[in-house]
Amino acid sequence: MPSPLRNGDLRSPSALHQHNPFHSTVSQQKLRRLNALILLLRFAAFCFCLAAAIFMASNSSHSSDSPSWSHFPTFRYVLAANSIVAIYSVFEMCAAVWEILKAATLLPEGMQIWFEFSHDQVFAYMLLSAEAAGVGEARRLRGLGSCDASGGFCVQAYISVALGFAGFAFLALSALLSGFRVACFVITGSRFHI
């Protein structure tokens, strides 16, 4: 009869943890708490990035002589980055809910962990660069006196950028937790260390 184990006689570290009832119960509770924290951070990142994208998208008037976000490539980048991170956060929230409810990852465990870690890193840096560019553009417009005629445009741009920075902060915190999960996976072969 062929062995039910994938690698012959060797058991993976995660399989060893499942057979010990004490560690399994404790690790399941800790894993559930960690997943709930990740879900909360991703929800906060989603809310702030969605609000930043909405503030930037609605930052224009109907008159032809007033500024609009679409006239500035930097503000288009801010809108695109916040929109991308909001969509990514929705996907990751769904994956976190799946993991909490089913106690399994949506993708194979190793792929899911590396997917989350790499995308958290890439999107966090993209969001940080977009918000930094947005601050620079808003300050440049204020220095040129463009904000005097349309003060609401600059204020709304500043609000959008500030919301985007808050979204970055929550995405960076979730990136730290996904980095912790990668380290645990590399060391123990499981996404959690117990």
Q: Tell me: the pLDDT tens digits for 89-106?
A: 999 999 999 988 887 888
Q: Is residue 98 part of a domain?
A: yes
Instruction: Check if the beta carbon of residue 191 is closer than 8 Å to that of residue 105.
Output: yes
Tokens of 146: 């463009």
Q: Is residue 40 part of a domain?
A: yes
> Could you tell me the pTM of the whole model?
0.79
Q: Is residue 6 part of a domain?
A: no
> Kind and range of the H or E element at 183?
helix 151-188
Instruction: Check if the beta carbon of residue 142 is closer than 8 Å to that of residue 77.
Output: no
Structural domain tally of the chain? Answer: 1
Confidence of residue 146 (pLDDT cuts 50, 70, 90): low
Q: Is residue 11 part of a domain?
A: no
Q: Is residue 165 part of a domain?
A: yes
Tell me which DSSP letter residue 103 carries.
S
Q: What is the pLDDT of residue 128?
A: 95
Q: Give the range of the structural domain holding residue 48, as residue numbers without chain letter.
A: 34-55+68-188
* Rounded-to-10 torsion of CA 107, 111, 112, 115: -130
Residue 41 reports pLDDT greater than 90:
yes
